[in-house]
């Protein structure tokens, strides 16, 4: 019942804003009224600044987290594909082929020795 609220004398939001601004202007004209208002406003302003600082810091932390993720992704791509790209562009020489035959032969000898020892222990 919207009509009943208006008849009861309740002001709308725009009307409340106008009433508040007129009241504040009237109090600001008198110097005696300014001092208590200024005293009351200072702590509220400090609180507002502290809350604002907290919000700004939180937003900054979130942005930094996003940049960290992007940086990690870029770093991993550079680590994986950087050497390949350097070779293709001629910025670095291709590595010498590694000699894998001696390591393979050593693995075969160690494996054969282990098999001989383990099989010899089972016969007893």
pLDDT per residue as tens digits for the range 31-62? 666 666 666 666 666 666 677 788 888 899 99
Average pLDDT of the chain to the nearest whole number:
77
Cα separation, 53 vs 47, in Å, equals 10
Give the model's confidence band at 107: pLDDT under 50 very low, under 70 low, under 90 confident, else very high: very high
Q: Long-range CB contacts (< 8 A, 24+ apart) of 10-14?
A: none
Mean of pLDDT values over 70-97: 87
pLDDT at 12: 75
Q: What's this model's pTM, rounded to 2 decimal places?
A: 0.35
DSSP 98-124: P--HHHHHHHHHHHHHHHHHHHHHHH-
Q: What is the DSSP secondary structure assignment for residue 95, as one 8-state letter? A: P
* Higher-scoring residue by pLDDT: 70, 9: 70
Cα separation, 42 vs 46, in Å, equals 6
Mean of pLDDT values over 94-104: 84
* Higher-scoring residue by pLDDT: 13, 104: 104
Least confident of 8-17, 63-72, 95-104: 8-17
């Amino acid at each position: 019942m919207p009509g009943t609220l208006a008849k009861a004398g309740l002001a709308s939001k725009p009307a409340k804003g106008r009433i508040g601004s007129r009241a504040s202007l009237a109090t600001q004209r008198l110097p005696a009224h300014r001092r208590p208002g200024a005293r009351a406003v200072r702590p509220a302003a400090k609180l507002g600044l502290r809350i604002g600082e907290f919000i700004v810091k939180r937003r900054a932390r979130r942005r930094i987290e996003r940049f960290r993720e992007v940086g990690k992704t870029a770093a991993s791509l550079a680590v994986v594909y950087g050497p390949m790209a350097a070779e293709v562009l001629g910025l670095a020489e291709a590595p010498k082929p590694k000699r894998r035959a001696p390591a393979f032969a050593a693995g075969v000898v160690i494996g054969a020795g282990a098999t001989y020892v383990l099989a010899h222990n089972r016969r007893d």
